[in-house]
Structure 1
């Protein structure tokens, strides 16, 4: 039980479910309520599948492709930079500010659920690195692996519930506050991207 709680805390901190709410609101602006629910459920389900895959095959894949974890962090940080740029300068809002004749489709919702919601916002470099390290720490014991995957499933389940209630938060805050928060979060996300890239670089070239 203590290992499960420890794993739970690690995944909660890395995934940061409360911090995903304003990001989700900003990213899904312009979608219908039905599409937002689909994005939330599909995105979290895909994120969990990605984490399970990396839990069992991640090290093998990275080793086979000769990709180091620092390189993985740098690539993930670059993707986050792209999202942050679009949020900061309203590119996503412009793209979603279409008229009703050119409404956002279910295909757009599917694309958003995969990228950037599932990867890299939920199952990002931090979450993938964490599950790789925790599975390695748990060894080959079934109980240990269930503890890691159970903690990941608990956090992802919580993310699903939180995102499904994101519209309630949006109505409470209003359009102006949401747009302001979206811009501020763009800066925060850019800083997180920079930190992710720096972590990758310092892993290869540690400071003296």
Structure 2
């Protein structure tokens, strides 16, 4: 059961965070920056995302309890949200929306102190890495964790994917050049199909528990 849970968690978070798809977004919001500057931005973005996702892993289920939302109900709603994300991935809408966001912030306007906006916070950490889909996913997965081992495994999976994001940010130029637009397009659609299947399973499990309970 632990192995099945961890595989499910890895697949869900890998698809919703989409580390490979973030490579061109990272390049778009860090134009003309030196390697050291990009590395600093990458470290900050990943650390902020990690703090945010860990907060929802630990506080997500208690928050649902405070709000009076049952875990099965959130499984159904979270599964539906992930299905919408999968639909966008399959038909290319999500990549276009992320690209538009990155393009708008490629040349950030100075703030009232005369400094540029910190792209490591927005849009990299929020919402490109820790967005609605990934936050919903970690709450959903943490609510399904029945043992301390599963919760520890979820944390390890989340941190490993964020570490992969950091590596991909550092290799963004090479990855984009090697993969090309066509390979990225095909990979995004395949991952979208996988996420659609996972989201349907979440909805089915939630509905079964909701009506069964």
TM-score scaled to structure 2, two decimals?
0.67
| Shift, 1:111, TM fit | 2.2
Q: What is the DSSP-based 3-state SS (H/G/I as helix, E as strand, rest coil) of the residue aligned with 1:30?
A: helix
Corresponding residue for residue 15 of structure 1: 9
Q: 1:75 aligns with which of 74, 77, 92?
A: 77
Residues 44 and 118 in structure 1, CA contact (< 8 A), matched pair in contact too:
no
Q: 1:126 aligns with which of 134, 138, 141?
A: 141
| Shift, 1:20, TM fit | 1.2
- Cα RMSD (Å): 3.4
Q: Partners of 2:12 and 2:80 in 1: how far apart?
A: 23
Q: 1:194 aligns with which of 200, 206, 212?
A: 200
| Shift, 1:90, TM fit | 1.3
Corresponding residue for residue 94 of structure 1: 96
Residues 17 and 158 in structure 1, CA contact (< 8 A), matched pair in contact too:
no
Q: Give deviations 1:105-127, integer Å, cap 9, x for gaps.
A: 62222222331464134x14123
Q: 1:151 to 1:178 in 2, by over 3 A?
A: same
Q: 1:178 aligns with which of 184, 187, 210?
A: 184
Q: Give deviations 1:27-70, integer Å, cap 9, x for gaps.
A: 5643336466554433233111211224xxx34x4344332111
Q: Partners of 1:80 and 1:18 in 2: how far apart?
A: 9
The runs of 5 or more residues in structure 1 that have no matched partner are 1-5, 136-146
The runs of 5 or more residues in structure 2 that have no matched partner are 31-37, 109-118
Residues 75 and 202 in structure 2, CA contact (< 8 A), matched pair in contact too:
yes
Corresponding residue for residue 26 of structure 1: 21
| Shift, 1:14, TM fit | 3.5
Q: Partners of 2:77 and 2:12 in 1: how far apart?
A: 24
Corresponding residue for residue 139 of structure 1: none
Residues 11 and 127 in structure 1, CA contact (< 8 A), matched pair in contact too:
no
Q: 2:87 aligns with which of 85, 88, 95?
A: 85
Q: Give deviations 1:147-203, integer Å, cap 9, x for gaps.
A: 666544433332222222234655543332121010121122112111111111111
TM-score scaled to structure 1, two decimals?
0.68
